[in-house]
A and B are shown apart, each in its own frame.
Chain A
Amino acid sequence: MRNPLTVLKRRLSEHREVRTDGGTTSAGSILDRDSVRSAPFWLPPFLLIGLFIYGAIAWNIVLSLTDFQGLGTPDYSALDFENYVVAFFGGTPSWSELTVSPIWNSAWNTVVLMVSFSVVCLALGLVLAILVDQEIRFENTFRTIYLLPMSLSFVVTAKFWLYMYNVETGLVNLFLGAVGVGPIEIVQNPDLKLAAVAFALIWQFSGYAMIVYLAGLRAIPTSHFEAARVDGASTVRMYWRVIIPQLRTATVSALVVLTVFSLKAFDFLFSMYGGYQPGPSADILATRMVREAYSNGNWAYGSAIAVILFIMALAIVTPYIYSQYKRGEL
């Protein structure tokens, strides 16, 4: 039995041949193009993503230009950049009776958290991957152990680390006590807060970086390792000059995911500090944004902070994506 689709396809192609030869432009010609004919497959997801992701981003940008505050509907007739001026310089905006402080503090914390978390996570992940790649025994067990923390939700890890950092009974302080330091107040210590959050996140996600790098390492042909050895390269030199440069794609994909996770640190801070108030030394843009939007009902100002956060994420990811694109690796 012939597949009806095959029959249909042949008829369509026959029809197109004739038409091309004859040079006619019938109304059906556009409908016959590949892009149009495949539309039922790509169009629905394209529209859904366009509407719910890019549409929502665009709407959020427009919203950040309004004065939308409290209940009711935003007024799109008077758009201005007031919210961004307030975000960068502070002051009393037209939609509020109260002074609004600028976002520099939380923006700086966000950058510090994002950079320190991503860089340390990648470095640690790479080291772990190289170690696990040495054809050791129980490799699968180690891999699972390192990856396991990632399967926990931020709420669990936040509560867990709150306990770990406990001055009296926490393991961190017990360990410090054993080496003659401390006990040290960590959770509400302005000098250590952000580092403590970053440390907990690194603990949770370095396993993920390891898995991505491990996949990258496995994709490199054994001959590269052998060739480097034959040329007399030391182990360090071999990895540094031959292997790590081939892990660019892995680095980019891990970095993009880790950056996103560091933006999501909101969940972690929310659970650790029981609300939107982690304190000035651990306040990130995400907590500030939720405070403005949901505690104060300053929707437009919250949107403006969201846009700034979005641009920061783009600023970090775009150069890598672009360089990959240039090298033709994307």
Chain B
Amino acid sequence: MSNKPTKLSRRTVLTTTGVAATTGLAGCSGGSDDSDGSGDGGDGGANELELLHAWSSGDGNAAIAALIEGFQEEHPDVEFAEEPVDGAARSNLDQVVLNKLQANDPPSTFQLWPGKNLAKFDGAYEDIEDDVWTDDLKENYLAGPQEQAQYNGSYVSVPLNIHRINNLFYNTAVLDEAGVDPTSLSSASDVVSACETIAAETDAVPFAHQTSGTWSTVQLWETILLGQAGIDGYESFINGNGDAEQVQTALESVVELSEYYPSDSSSITFTEANTMVMDGDAAFIHQGDWAAGAYSNEDGFNYGEDWGQVTYPGTSGSYLLNMDSFPYMANNPSPEATRQFLSYCGTAEGQVLFNAEKGSIPPRSDADVSALNQFQQDQYEDFNAADNQPPSVEHGLAVSPAVKTNISDAFSSFLENYDAAATADALTGAFN
């Protein structure tokens, strides 16, 4: 064996490696080739629908499974590449989708809070007014949810469910013991005086709340603001023209309520706070109606008997919205199947299947809700009778993502010092 062949083979190895590397790099950048086609290009036969969501467990998982099952009964040819992305309240999901979009590999659709939150994926959607948002949908969605489904005036997503933020849940036994009638409360300050009575009459914590994260307090403040400033004041705020005085008054009400939080509110989570109500260790909790999901799963803790819900005092006539929706992504990997699926999500039938498991209510006003539980039916009645359906700040519907971050920043500081004046400045300044 001479020296020469060895060298040659080494060179061959290098050449081969080089070619392989070049091919690999080309493969990496290859994804951008079809970026300019706006998606409708004949992805012939690509009937696999890539659906990303954060409902990886519990009621959410059962709900999405029921929805997909219902859809596949009508469209057995559509396959799902369904992918639950773990992470609380879908913050992780957004990152996964952003990374996929950066890599030019959009999913067919994914779980997304609509409204101003749509700005997060600006330019990644496609208008579905002609194909999905038929007259049937436009007639049967109330104005509030319908507005939230649009981005810059065009319909890009289909709301699937509605959660309500302005609830006050209570443990009946504790309120009876304190002699407080929840239906008699009519303003935020009534809640504070009720808490005072409960603190005096019982051993229970008057107002269960968690303060380790900011989200519960933002929800509470926006609900109180809606009650005190009215729908006009609330809408002025979310449009960036908020009245600093109204904002501050609402914050002061939160400070008053904070006297009645559990003393370890900073070390507990929402689940623990909610359990306090279920165990009779706390009287009230302000939360979205997902709190009721835990009550329904608890044996011997029944709606109407052991727990109840009133519209947060002061906000009657409003249904403060949080929604999940499915947007239609441009450059869609499965255009036809995605449209079929989104159309199905817009039907009353699909929404009832989903919401029966999820504990929220259908956004369509013509759904047959007899399959839902009594609490959901009552909420649905409230929803259809509501004068207005304003979007929630905390859940990103009402303000753009950057403003939302500023608001959360302001509240992270508020939780440290409860300084209403400084926080009011920060909140009205969040839009500048």
Interface of A with B (CB < 8 Å)? 8, 11-12, 15, 28, 31, 40, 70-72, 96, 98-99, 162-163, 165-170, 183, 185-190, 193, 272-275, 277-281, 283, 291, 294-298
Interface string of B379-406 (1 = CB under 8 A from A): 0000000000000000000000111111
On whether the beta carbons of B3 and A12 are closer than 8 Å, the reply is: yes
Q: Which residues of B contact A169 (CB under 8 A)?
A: 264
B102 partner, pick from A71, A98, A190, beta carbons under 8 A: A71
Q: Of residues 247 to 278 in B, which have CB atoms within 8 Å of A's CB atoms?
A: 262-264, 266-269
On whether the beta carbons of B409 and A188 are closer than 8 Å, the reply is: no
On whether the beta carbons of A167 and B416 are closer than 8 Å, the reply is: no
The answer for the CA separation of A180 and B264 in the assembled complex, in Å, is 19
On whether the beta carbons of B412 and A165 are closer than 8 Å, the reply is: no
A15 partner, pick from B3, B215, B262, B401, beta carbons under 8 A: B3
CB-defined A-B contacts under 8 Å, sample of 23: A28-B7, A70-B122, A71-B98, A71-B101, A71-B121, A98-B402, A99-B429, A162-B267, A163-B267, A167-B264, A167-B266, A168-B263, A170-B267, A187-B212, A188-B416, A274-B88, A274-B212, A275-B214, A277-B409, A278-B412, A280-B412, A296-B401, A296-B405
Q: Which residues of A contact B408 (CB under 8 A)?
A: 275, 277
Q: Which residues of A contact B405 (CB under 8 A)?
A: 291, 295-296
On whether the beta carbons of A273 and B212 are closer than 8 Å, the reply is: yes
Task: Given A166-B264, A188-B212, decide whether A294 and B98 contact each other with a Cβ distance below 8 A.
Answer: yes
The yes or no answer to B70 lying at the interface (CB within 8 A) is: no
On whether the beta carbons of B212 and A162 are closer than 8 Å, the reply is: yes
Q: Which residues of A contact B213 (CB under 8 A)?
A: 273-275, 277
| Least CB distance, B276 to chain A, in whole angstroms | 12
The 8 closest A-B pairs by CB, nearest first: A274-B213, A166-B267, A187-B266, A279-B412, A188-B266, A277-B412, A190-B416, A167-B264
The yes or no answer to B120 lying at the interface (CB within 8 A) is: yes
The yes or no answer to B38 lying at the interface (CB within 8 A) is: no
Given contacts A163-B267, A291-B405, A294-B95, 13 further A-B contacts (CB under 8 A): A8-B1, A70-B123, A71-B101, A71-B122, A98-B406, A99-B432, A162-B267, A167-B263, A167-B267, A274-B213, A275-B215, A277-B409, A296-B401
Interface string of B103-128 (1 = CB under 8 A from A): 00000000000000000111110000
Q: Which residues of B contact A274 (CB under 8 A)?
A: 88, 212-213, 215, 269
Interface centre among B263, B266, B268, B405 (most CB of A within 10 A): B266
Q: Of residues 209 to 224 in B, which have CB atoms within 8 Å of A's CB atoms?
A: 211-215
Task: Given A98-B431, A294-B94, A296-B402, decide whether A277 and B267 contact each other with a Cβ distance below 8 A.
Answer: no
| Least CB distance, A163 to chain B, in whole angstroms | 7
The yes or no answer to B411 lying at the interface (CB within 8 A) is: yes
The answer for the CA separation of A281 and B10 in the assembled complex, in Å, is 59
The answer for the CA separation of A298 and B122 in the assembled complex, in Å, is 13
Q: Which residues of B contact A98 (CB under 8 A)?
A: 402-403, 406, 430-432
Q: Which residues of B contact A298 (CB under 8 A)?
A: 402
The yes or no answer to B91 lying at the interface (CB within 8 A) is: yes
The answer for the CA separation of A28 and B215 in the assembled complex, in Å, is 69
Closest Cβ neighbor of B213 among chain A residues: A274
Task: Given A71-B121, A169-B264, decide whether A280 and B413 contact each other with a Cβ distance below 8 A.
Answer: yes
| Least CB distance, A15 to chain B, in whole angstroms | 6
